[in-house]
């Protein structure tokens, strides 16, 4: 019996390529994440497409009629700023796609 990948006429050299997500390059599509309860801090910004691609929570929040969707800002009160920075810097840049 031929190897599984050679049944049905497929070549063993054939490799499936993973389809990459295409992110919009519009700089206006940046959302602000606020960490902790401090109301005076600056937002930690991330591209909306990246945030929504990697988090179903952000996708629901930023694409809704709720305050997060209207203002494109989200407060993460139970999270410290360092954790949010790690989330942002650990996410791929839209320019890499």
Q: Please give the pLDDT value at position 86.
A: 87
What does the pLDDT average to over 13-39? Answer: 71
Above 80 in pLDDT, residue 20?
A: no
Give dist(CA 75, CA 88) in Å, integer: 14
Q: Please give the pLDDT value at position 93.
A: 58
Q: Supply 6's token pair.
A: 């050679």
Going by the DSSP 8-state scheme, the letter that residue 20 receives in this structure is P
Q: Which pLDDT band holds residue 22 (cuts at 50, 70, 90)?
A: low
Rg of the chain over Cα atoms, rounded to whole angstroms, equals: 20
Strand partners, 47: 30
What does the pLDDT average to over 83-95? Answer: 74
What residue segments make up the domains of the chain, in order of their start?
Answer: 28-96
């Amino acid at each position: 019996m031929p190897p599984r990948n050679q049944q049905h006429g497929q070549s063993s050299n054939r490799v499936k390529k993973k389809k990459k997500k295409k992110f919009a390059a519009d700089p206006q599509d940046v959302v602000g994440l606020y960490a902790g309860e401090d109301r005076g801090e600056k937002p930690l910004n991330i591209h909306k497409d990246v945030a929504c691609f990697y988090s179903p929570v952000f996708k629901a929040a930023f694409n809704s009629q709720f305050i997060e969707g209207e203002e494109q800002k989200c407060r993460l009160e139970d999270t410290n700023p360092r954790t949010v920075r790690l989330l942002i810097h650990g996410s791929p840049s839209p320019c890499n796609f």
